[in-house]
Each structure stands twice: as structure tokens, then as C-alpha cells.
Structure 1
Amino acid sequence: MSVPKKIAILVVDDQQPMRKTIAYILRQLGIKDIQFAEDGDAAWKHINETRVDLVLLDWNMPRLSGLSLLERIRKSETFAKLPVIMVTAEANTDHVLTAMQAGVTDYVVKPFSPNTLLKKLEDVCAHSPSLIKLSVG
């Protein structure tokens, strides 16, 4: 399954060059609805105000970390099933396990290739009922 072109992706990273890089890759995949937040607080506000189908989330950010935002999303009745891919430089096993226990949908380690991100997006889209509906509709 490919990534639905109608998908709305929120890229959450405190580093503007990384947000731009991810956006560039997503645009190459034909995705037009790319939204941005520079920390977990801004992302949480955005998720509550705008349609977001999937979150690409950095771990290390000021104010509210990616892990804290993930935990907040999973505890929320409204957004508990929102697919979240952690995109982070945190590659050690403890971090991956912590993110898995917190309910992350998938995990990408920086630096990554466009192909790696595409594969993760395809995997998540194939297994998330809300994203499967976007492909058909």
C-alpha cells in the first residue's frame, strides 16, 4: 500500500532544517498537507485544532518532549489511535523500548534516507484503519 495523497502529516521538530528536509521528502511523495510544530506544546495545540492524520515526532525538544507528547496523545480519548512515528537521533535500545512502551506506532533513526521514511510511512498506512480509509476515499 502506498501513502495516501490526502494524508495530513504534522512534522514536529525543534530544528527547522530537519522540518524542511522531512517536508521536502514528503512533497517528493506527492503529499501536500504538511503541517509543522517546533515543540510538543505547539504540536498538542495544533492536533486539537486541525485535522492531523499522522505525526512525525522528534524526541528531544524544549518545553514538551516528543515522548511526553506521545504519552499525552495515547492518554487522550480523541487521539489515542493517532499514528505517531518517532523520528529521532535517539538510537539506543532503551529509547526505542521506552517509545514502544509509550505506544509509538513506528521509529526512524536520524539520519535516514528518503526510502527509509517512505517504507515506514507505507507500513504505518497499511496498518492504521484511519489511514486505510483515506486511500479508498
Structure 2
Amino acid sequence: MGIGIIIRDEEGEALVAECDIKNNVVNAAVAESLALRKATDLCSDLNIQKAIFEGDAKEVVEAVLSEEEVVLDFSSIIDDVKFHFRNRTHWFIQFASRKKSTVAHTLAKKALEIGKQLVWIEEVPKFIVGCLLDDTSCNT
């Protein structure tokens, strides 16, 4: 599976872009939860205090928001994500349609193409510039 993460500031400007791969993942919900965990790990490592995470997998978003313990194929991954959220009162998660996250999907596809992890800080790769503008206009 490919993972695509984009971190933006409050004005929509890209701060960090990352693409990565994970092998032997066949379940879409597991893939989405792994990508979310990677995003929360990254934001935690960067000491980002305020964040809104968006995901297009309703099942994953609902599992993170649930107060009850969930029993799913990816429960341990959700527990890791919830741990990050417990310690950060200004982190939120919400469902977003796939059309609002073309940058993340483009990065995920690129990860599959190149077969390795790449991270860009402050400068985004050229192949996502058009998507970044589309996503920004879609989110305003």
C-alpha cells in the first residue's frame, strides 16, 4: 500500500509532504489506519500542537472518535492513534471526501511507483503542486 501525508498550516500552505509504502496490506481500513498512525507519529515528532486530521475512511474516523473500545482488524493501530489524541487536546479528526484529499492520494500513488519513503520539508515536490492548488480551493 502507498501512504501519502500532507501537513499544511492554517492558511493551507504545505509544510511537509511524505510518501511511504507498507507491504502485505490488503484491507483498505487497515491501510487507512496505518496512514493515520503515521501522520499522528509525524505530527507528534514535529511537536505540532494544533492539528486537524482528515481521512476518507469513515470506519477509521469513527473508530478513533468512539469512546468505546473497538474490536476490529486494526484495533491496535486505532489504540496507538487514540493515545496520541489523548495527550493533545487541540488535535481533531474528521471525515473528508476523497475529492478533498487528492494530494494525499497522489503521494500514495507515487510511493508505490518509487518503492521507498520520501519526505519533503517546506518545499513540495513538483508532481503535487497542481493537486495542492485544487485541494486548497476545494477546502475554502
TM-score normalised to structure 2 length: 0.30
Q: Which has the higher contact order (CA 8 A, sep 6+)?
A: 2
With the length of structure 1 as denominator, give the TM-score of the two structures: 0.31
